[in-house]
Amino acid sequence: MPGKKINIFDTTLRDGEQVPGCKLNTKEKIELALALEDLGVDIIEAGFPISSPGDFNSVREITKVIKNASVCGLSRAVQKDIEVAADALKYAVRPRIHTGIGTSDIHIRGKFNSNREEILLRAIQCVKWAKSFVDDVEFYAEDAGRTENEYLARVIEAVIAAGATVVNIPDTTGYCLPHQYGEKIAYLVKNVPNIDKATISCHCHNDLGLATANSIAGIISGAGQIECTINGLGERAGNTSLEECVMIIKQHHSLGFYTNINTQKLNPVSHLVSETMRMPVQPNKAIVGSNAFAHSSGIHQDGFLKEALTYEIINPDEVGADGSKIVLTARSGRSALAHRFQKLGYQFNRNDIDVLYQQFVEVADKKKEVKDDDLHEMAKQYHAEEVGI
Ligand code: KIV
Ligand code: ZN
């Protein structure tokens, strides 16, 4: 596989599960964790063990069944949180503790009523505590998106020196523009002397619809891990969508990256997550929405039927989707109508289609979508008129 491997850190079971209405029980979490491992994710963030006995139990049970992926538990920069996370992870083949603290002045003053020096010490301390339990410690600098770069670089250098193996640079509020987020990662690559001792991770939220773009800007600037969720689920407007990042990396191989994701499983896993978390996927969602491979306007349908590449940059099979769809609406043209009649077994010539098309647009103007039953009815009437019934 050419290029640089980008680790996929899935947080559907932690940041995704924080969404109101998406809460999962242990059995559901285990089922999704197994599906994520089968999909090929490198790290599964299984939960926030201190948050509730139920979540502690889910994380622990997940560690018993996951054999290939790393299993990660979240904690705050609080000793008790870290101890409980370590306990929940004690059966994991590859345990990772994810610990950290807010580093922006807004968080330092507004949330902790503290100052930069105290927060720096707490950051170092939490990594040391976590390191006493596991080798693999990820540090998050919450609200890094709004943290001044110079201070962020000091914190990151210090936590790497304390033993962090992964440094997470979250755009917690989805505030950054792609070039700003990319520049932040580039700044850390350039200004943190020990940065080669850790992997930089992108964790972006979607408040301005930029989570995926920001994560891609991050890896272009040197990050080696993307934190994401299936269907982009997550706090408020969601997290970076796993399927979008993976397919951007695959489609744009000239970027020089690859992932371990089996892309044919993207749609099946998306459906499983949507059903289990009771959270429908918007129809126009990239890669996994029901309209992601649907063509409904005449211009597009005509081009697509002549050559699929004209209007599809991804083969639906490659992402495990049901296939391309030609949807008949009042905006459809004769090619699509002729194609559908042919699929239904009718042999109409050009003249027939011209006549039938007039009836079709009248029906289509009254309905949102013209279905096969409507076409059978039109064909029946057309034949009846032809033989003069
Ligand atoms: O968005 C965020 O900053 C987080 C951290 C806890 C990693 O989810
Ligand atoms: Zn988050």
Q: Compute the radius of gyration of the chain from its Cα atoms.
A: 25
Closest CA to 74 of 144, 126, 110: 126
Whole-number Å distance between alpha carbons of 3 and 58 = 36
Query: Are 139 and 79 part of one and the same domain?
Result: yes
Query: Are 167 and 226 part of one and the same domain?
Result: yes
Please indicate whether residue 99, judged by its CB atom, sits closer than 6 Å to ligand 1: no
CA of 311 to the centre of ligand 2 (A): 34
CA of 140 to the centre of ligand 2 (A): 10
Query: Are 182 and 215 part of one and the same domain?
Result: yes
Average pLDDT along the chain: 97
Neighbouring CB atoms inside 10 A of 374's CB total: 17
288 within domain boundaries: no
Contact indicator for 10, 240 with CB cutoff of 8 Å: no
Band of pLDDT at residue 346, cut at 50, 70 and 90? very high
Q: Could you tell me the CATH number of the domain that includes residue 341?
A: 1.10.238
Please indicate whether residue 142, judged by its CB atom, sits closer than 6 Å to ligand 1: yes
Query: Are 324 and 203 part of one and the same domain?
Result: no
The residue type at 311: Y
Q: Is the pLDDT of residue 67 over 90?
A: yes
Average pLDDT over residues 93-105: 98
Please indicate whether residue 63, judged by its CB atom, sits closer than 6 Å to ligand 1: no
Query: Are 210 and 322 part of one and the same domain?
Result: no
Please indicate whether residue 171, judged by its CB atom, sits closer than 6 Å to ligand 1: no
Instruction: Enumerate the H helices of the chain as residue ranges.
Output: 26-39, 53-65, 79-88, 105-110, 116-131, 149-161, 178-191, 211-220, 242-251, 266-276, 298-306, 334-343, 350-366, 372-386
Our count of domains for the chain comes to 2
**In residues, how long is the chain?**
389
Question: ∠173-179-181 over CA atoms, to 5°?
Answer: 40
Q: Is the pLDDT of residue 389 over 70?
A: no
DSSP annotation of 147 reads S
Query: Are 322 and 225 part of one and the same domain?
Result: no
pTM of the model: 0.96
CA of 202 to the centre of ligand 2 (A): 10
Band of pLDDT at residue 386, cut at 50, 70 and 90? confident
Least confident range from 131-135, 220-224, 380-384: namely 380-384
Task: Give the closest residue (by CA) to ligand 1 atom 1.
Answer: 172
**SS3 state of residue 44:** strand
**78-115 exposure pattern, b = at least 16 Cβ within 10 A, e = fewer:** eeebbbbbbebbeebebbbbbbbbbbbbebbeeeeeee
pLDDT (0 to 100) of residue 86: 98
Ligand nearest to the CA of 98: 1
Whole-number Å distance between alpha carbons of 382 and 376 = 10
Q: How many helices (H) and strands (E) does the chain have?
A: 14, 12
Whole-number Å distance between alpha carbons of 97 and 111 = 23
137 within domain boundaries: yes
Please indicate whether residue 172, judged by its CB atom, sits closer than 6 Å to ligand 1: yes
Average pLDDT over residues 71-75: 98
Query: Are 310 and 206 part of one and the same domain?
Result: no
Query: Are 45 and 136 part of one and the same domain?
Result: yes
Average pLDDT over residues 354-374: 96
Query: Are 195 and 298 part of one and the same domain?
Result: no
Q: Could you tell me the CATH number of the domain that includes residue 193?
A: 3.20.20.70
343 is in which domain, residue-wise? Answer: 294-386
pLDDT (0 to 100) of residue 1: 59
Average pLDDT over residues 2-6: 93
Instruction: Enumerate the H helices of 112-241 as residue ranges.
Output: 116-131, 149-161, 178-191, 211-220
CA of 206 to the centre of ligand 2 (A): 10
281 within domain boundaries: no
